[in-house]
Amino acid sequence: MCVAHEDKLTSVAYSFGVTFIAVAIPVARTDAVSRALESAQAAKLHGADLVEWRVDTLAEDSHGSSAIVRLVQESPLPCIVTVRDESEGGAFSGSDDERIAVWRAASKAVPPPAYIDVELSTYHARDSMGNSAREIARISNMEKTDAPRVILSFHDFRGRPPGLSSRVAEMWSDPGSAIAKVVWTARTARDNIEAFELLASRAKPTIALCMGEHGLMSRVLAPKFGGFLTYARADDHGTAPGQPTVEELVHNWGFRSIDQSTKVFGVIAYPVSHSRSPEIHNRWFRAANFNARLFAIAVAPSWEPFKATLAELFGYAPLDFCGVAVSMPHKENAIRFVKEFGGVIEQSAQRIGAANTIGKSADGKLFARNTDADGVVESLANAMRRAGGDGDLRGKRIAILGAGGAARAAAFGVGSRGASVVITNRTASKAKKIAEEFARALGDAPALDVKAKALSALSKERFDVIINCTSVGMDGGPAAGQNPLPAEVVLDEHVVVMDAVYAPAKTALLLHAEQCGAKCVGGWEMLIAQAAHQFEGWTGKRPLVGADPSADAAPSR
């Protein structure tokens, strides 16, 4: 890329809606320069458009300026030079004169950096810093194509900063800045919407991003809302929490094909970091040529945050939020939400009393659906056939561990196929409540043989199938690595054990069942089966499950 073209990045992005990927590479020491340049070259091959040289500590080195000049001159991509102050999450603790010297040295490099990042607080509070930045901006505004432009920035690692709108308006109105940048740590997924609103109302090229677990949506969907750029990391050492790699942005998220018409979906759970739903559905979206992305959304385990999150996501029309997969512990909240917002509760979800899918029908009305029941039945029947049976559940005695939405769906699914079901839970009253609710809610549906017992009572009986519908054993959960089944329960070659937990692929329960000779069904098969029904409900298409056998295989961990 020639220098003249590099310096037109701002006007190109602003005029044509291009959103760039800037790979942020921290360079702490002079002896790290060669390795940093190699990382930048690799990022370029993966699809990065710019490189941000984060030289916070390098700027304090006596030989730092010459090393920074080398980074700029040998950069394989147009670059941003950033010396981030400690007050805004950086590592620079030196003097104003040291930072000004770095700016001036970098600006004289041939070719110079495309941009220099200057904090808003520095720009206004310290005259020497502000004057130096304004001098860089003045030269750039004189249309000298070999002069860097100024990114005026603000960062808050603690949360949403007070006076956010006024700070951004100040950056927009300042003639010294070519780009306005605001980045803060998201407290919930709802913070992303405020970032999108800032981009939608921008008065000049703007970067608005949220950091942390809740902020990924703002990074990936920057092109949908006209963000100037998004930041990525080159390897494990990013410069802000939540940065994906360049390769993840380009290949996993399909960053280059995101536009204003991209639809957005989510999977809501707590915790949610273990979820493989984004990987599954985004792969299926690509295979079906369906312009959509699905994100993991962590929502605290109570009704109020669930309602607030979904109300804002569905309510912000420019987001095109079209549906959500709902996991533990929110499946009963899903029913309540759709009811409160005048939507339709489909029959299976109504009878189960829980939903794992919320979507929008053609008329824009919400619907709640439960695909867990079908997922349990399909994967269990398939496992029984693989073991030489016919997959028929009639007359089978099935124990279900748990008393949440997943347990309700499993009980309804297998019970509707003629199985005799025992709901068990550490708290027997919760299991009894489910059995009683089924008896009241079924109406004219065939009666289900559903009973309730305490978990400790399982040791006195034998079952054909045992299904774990609790989160016990799940990676990242409160009982990771544990087995929910009492040790006295009889397991042998005549018993099928299914675990709805899919991360890890082999839970403590399944390892124990294998040792006892039982047939095992992991949660991955169930996840794929129920996800296929979700996908069809959202898109009207069946996913291409099995088109790539390795893609639908169980995760290795």
Decide if 53 is inside a domain.
Answer: yes
Domain span at residue 453 reads 373-528
- 149-175: average pLDDT: 92
Residue 555 has pLDDT above 50, yes or no: no
Residue range 287-310, pLDDT digits in tens: 999 999 999 999 999 999 999 999
Across all residues in the chain, what is the average pLDDT?
A: 88
Percentage of residues in the chain having pLDDT higher than 90: 67
Indicate whether 102 and 182 sit together in one domain.
Answer: yes
Q: Is the confidence at residue 550, as pLDDT, over 90?
A: no
Residues 92-115: what's their mean pLDDT?
88
Same domain, 361 and 378: no
Q: Is residue 296 located within the same domain as residue 178? A: no
pLDDT tens track for 309-362: 999 999 999 999 999 999 989 999 999 999 999 999 999 899 888 999 999 999
| Nearest-10 Cα torsion for 323, 328, 332, 334 | -10
Distances in Å between the Cα of 475 and the Cα atoms of 89, 140, 331, 526, 557 are 31, 52, 20, 17, 10
Where is pLDDT greater, at 405 or 56? Answer: 56
- Judgement on whether residues 291 and 418 belong to the same structural domain of the protein: no
Report helix, strand or coil for 304: helix
Asked if residue 135 and residue 242 are part of one domain, the reply reads yes
Residues 458 and 413 in one domain: yes
Identify the domain boundary among 352, 371, 390: 371
Give the lowest-confidence range in 32-36, 203-207, 351-355, 395-399: 351-355
Q: What stretch of H or E contains 519?
A: strand 519-521
Helix-helix angle 331-340:405-416, to 10 degrees: 90
> Between 445 and 80, where is the model more confident?
80
Nearest Cα to 116, choosing from 98, 128, 104?
104
Catalytic residue, from 44, 155, 274, 396: name it: 155
Identify the CATH number of the domain in which residue 477 sits: 3.40.50.720
191, 372, 499, 552: the catalytic one is: 372
Q: Which of 181, 224, 274, 519 is catalytic?
A: 181
Average pLDDT over residues 415-441: 81
- Cβ neighbourhood burial of 172 (10 Å; 0-12, 13-18, 19+): middle
Return the pLDDT at 152: 93
Cβ(352)–Cβ(370) under 8 Å? yes
Is residue 360 annotated as a catalytic residue, yes or no?
Answer: no
The 10 Å CB-count burial string (b at 16+, else e) for 221-259 is: bbbbbbbbbbbbbbeeebbbebbbbbbbbbebbbbeebe
Residue 557: pLDDT band (50, 70, 90) is very low
Residue 122 lies in a domain: yes
Query: What is the rounded CA–CA span in Å between residue 298 and residue 82?
Result: 32
**490 and 398 together in one domain:** yes
Q: Write out pLDDT tens, residues 210-240.
A: 999 999 999 999 999 999 999 999 987 778 8
460 is known as an active-site residue: no
Q: Residue 421 corresponds to which tokens in the numbers above?
A: 């079901």
If one counts the domains in the chain, the total is 3
For residue 553, is it within any domain?
no
Instruction: Tell me whether residue 554 is in a domain.
Output: no
Q: Give the 3-state DSSP-derived string for 98-112, with helices as H, strands as E and coil as C.
A: HHHHHHHHHHCCCCC
Question: What's the Cα-to-Cα distance from 506 to each of 250, 464, 529, 557, rounded to whole Å?
Answer: 31, 20, 18, 8
Q: Is 325 left (phi over 0), alpha (psi -120 to 50) or beta?
A: beta
Q: What gap in Å lies between CA 512 and CA 507, rounded to an integer?
A: 9
What average pLDDT does the segment 267-273 reach? 92
Domain boundary at 224, 253, 282, which?
253
Do both 244 and 382 map to the same domain?
Answer: no
pLDDT in tens, 463-477: 999 999 999 999 888
The answer to whether 220 touches 253, Cβ cutoff 8 Å, is yes
User: What strands lie across the sheet with 179-185, from one edge to the other?
Assistant: 206-211, 179-185, 149-156, 115-119, 79-82, 50-54, 20-26, 229-233
Q: Is residue 542, in this structure, part of any structural domain at all?
A: no
What is residue 4's predicted lDDT score, i.e. its pLDDT? 37
Answer for the pair 217, 296: CB distance below 8 angstroms, yes or no: no
Reply yes or no on whether 181 is catalytic: yes
| Same-domain check for residues 510 and 391 | yes
Average pLDDT on 198-219 reads 96
For 252, which DSSP code? I
Out of 331, 396, 453, 519, the active site residue is 331
Are 301 and 272 found together in one domain? yes
Which of 371, 403, 427 terminates a domain? The answer is: 371
Q: Is the domain of 118 the same as that of 249?
A: yes
